[in-house]
Every structure is written in C-alpha cells, then in structure tokens.
C-alpha cells in the first residue's frame, strides 16, 4: 500500500470532516447532518437519506477534468453510498438527510477507495451513530504478483482492478467491484489481500480519530 496520510476535523464549518490520502491520491470528505431534507418529496418517512456526492476537482488530474457530474462520478456516488449505508444508523433520523461531500483534490488511481475512507472518518467525526468504520482499498494482479492499492501506472498494467469496502467488526464486504478478467482462484486471493489491507487501514483510522479528539 502507498503511504497513508489522514487528518480528521479539517473543515471547521462541517459537522464532521476528514482528509485521506493513498500516496498521491487525496480525498477530502465533509459531512453535514442529520439535518432537515428539502425538497419534501425526497424525504423517507422512516429513515434518513444518506446523500453521497463525489466530485473530482478540475485540477486533480494532469488533464483538466470538467466540473460537474459524469456517468463515472454518478456510479461512484452510488457505490459509495451503498458501501456506507449498512453501518450508518439512518433509522434514527426519519425524514432527515445526512450529506456526505467527497472531493478528490489529487487523483492517482484509487480515488473511490480514498473517498470511502475519508467519508467513513468524517461520519464518525460528525458524531453520527454508526455501527462500524468502513475501510476501502483496491487490489489486483500484475503478472504473477498480487498487488495492493494500485497507483495510476499499476492500474494500467493490471489484469483486473478490484476495489472493495470492508466492515472490520462484522467482517463483511460492503462494496466490491471488478474491472477486468481474473480466474476464480486469483479473485479469491486478491480479495483476501484487499481485506488484509483494510485491516491496516482500520488501525490508521482509529489512530487518526483518537489524535483528533483526545490529544
């Protein structure tokens, strides 16, 4: 895995916030809520709506990214939300919304995984009831070697890019995507490698939260 940098509580205006980097990929997440949801037709009568908005800053890549939603960012919004929803206690806040804004300010592959890690920390920082922290990392296979946390060049070289999101306590995977071709055996090995990566990330997330609040 690339060197991980974490800082929690970096956006004073937000209820919770965090910055998470895998090497040169940096994501900043800001959480607002639970707060009233407008427009009313979006309200869910028995739980809160978890809105995840993922965006890449135009300067995050070598070629300028056009601001605004794209099919790719919409997909990432959806998978991010689905990765976090199983642990966020949305039933405690009917008709409200919990807004999670994820901004990628520097992109070198693994942006959705960095984004999920940052979002998980930001949700905890905001004091939102959660049953676990979610960790996320991508893995793959280049030649005969299984690799963890692919950077840009590695993503181009790999047979398959497999990002996962993992709940440490429940030992369950909340997100899994697979982009490429791999045998069943290789897939199992890659997923196991990614889970080990998540266990490392969990320790760093804990440490960062403790530093923010208890020191």
Partner 1 sequence: MTKDMLKNERDFVVPGDEIVKSMDYLPGKHTFREGDSIYAKGLGVVSISGRVVSMIPLSGVYTPKVGDMVIGEVKEIQGNGWVVDISSICEAYLPLSGVRDYIDTSRTRLDSVYAIGELLYAKIGAVNSADSVHLSMQDSRSRKFNGGRIVRISPSKVPRLIGKMGSMINTIKDKTGCRISVGQNGYVWLDGENIELAMQAIDMIEEKAHKTSGLTDAVADFLGGKKK
| Residues contributing to the site for partner 1 (CB under 8 A) | 15-16, 33-36, 87, 89, 93-96, 124-133, 167-170, 205-206, 209-210, 213-214
CB nearer to partner 1: pick between 60 and 205: 205
Of 206, 21, 187, give the one whose Cα is nearest residue 108.
21
What is residue 118's DSSP assignment?
A: H
CB nearer to partner 1: pick between 36 and 67: 36
Q: How many CB atoms lie within 10 A of CB 92?
A: 12
Angstrom distance (rounded) from CA 16 to CA 14: 5
CB nearer to partner 1: pick between 31 and 109: 31
Q: How far is CA 58 from its chain centroid?
A: 20
Of 195, 158, 198, 204, give the one whose Cα is nearest residue 178.
158
CB of 111 to partner 1, least distance (A): 24
Q: Which two tokens stand for residue 40?
A: 């009313």
Encode burial over 11-32: b for 16+ CB neighbours within 10 A, e otherwise: beebbbbbbbbbbebbbbbbbb
CB of 177 to partner 1, least distance (A): 23
Contact indicator for 47, 38 with CB cutoff of 8 Å: no
CB of 197 to partner 1, least distance (A): 18
CB nearer to partner 1: pick between 123 and 182: 123
CB nearer to partner 1: pick between 114 and 124: 124
CB of 125 to partner 1, least distance (A): 7
CB of 193 to partner 1, least distance (A): 23
Q: How far does the chain reach from its first CA to its final CA, in angstroms?
A: 27
Give SS3 for 20: strand
CB nearer to partner 1: pick between 153 and 172: 172
Q: How many CB atoms lie within 10 A of CB 97?
A: 21
């Amino acid at each position: 895995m690339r060197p991980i940098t974490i800082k929690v509580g970096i956006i004073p205006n937000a209820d919770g916030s965090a910055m998470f980097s895998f090497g040169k990929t940096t994501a900043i997440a800001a959480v607002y809520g639970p707060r009233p949801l407008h427009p009313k037709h979006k309200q869910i009568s028995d739980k809160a709506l978890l809105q995840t908005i993922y965006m890449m800053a135009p300067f995050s890549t070598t070629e300028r990214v056009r601001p605004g939603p794209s099919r790719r960012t919409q997909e990432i919004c959806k998978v991010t939300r689905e990765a976090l929803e199983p642990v966020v206690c949305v039933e405690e806040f009917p008709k409200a919304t919990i807004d999670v804004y994820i901004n990628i300010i520097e992109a070198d592959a693994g942006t959705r995984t960095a984004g999920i890690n940052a979002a998980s920390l930001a949700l905890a920082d905001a004091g939102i009831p959660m049953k676990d922290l979610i960790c996320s990392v991508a893995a793959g296979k280049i030649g005969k070697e299984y690799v963890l946390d692919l950077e840009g060049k590695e993503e181009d070289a790999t047979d398959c890019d497999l990002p996962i999101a993992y709940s440490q306590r429940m030992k369950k995977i909340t997100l899994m995507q697979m982009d490429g071709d791999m045998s069943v055996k290789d897939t199992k090995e890659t997923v196991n490698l990614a889970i080990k990566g998540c266990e490392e990330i969990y320790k760093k997330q804990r440490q960062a939260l403790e530093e923010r609040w208890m020191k």
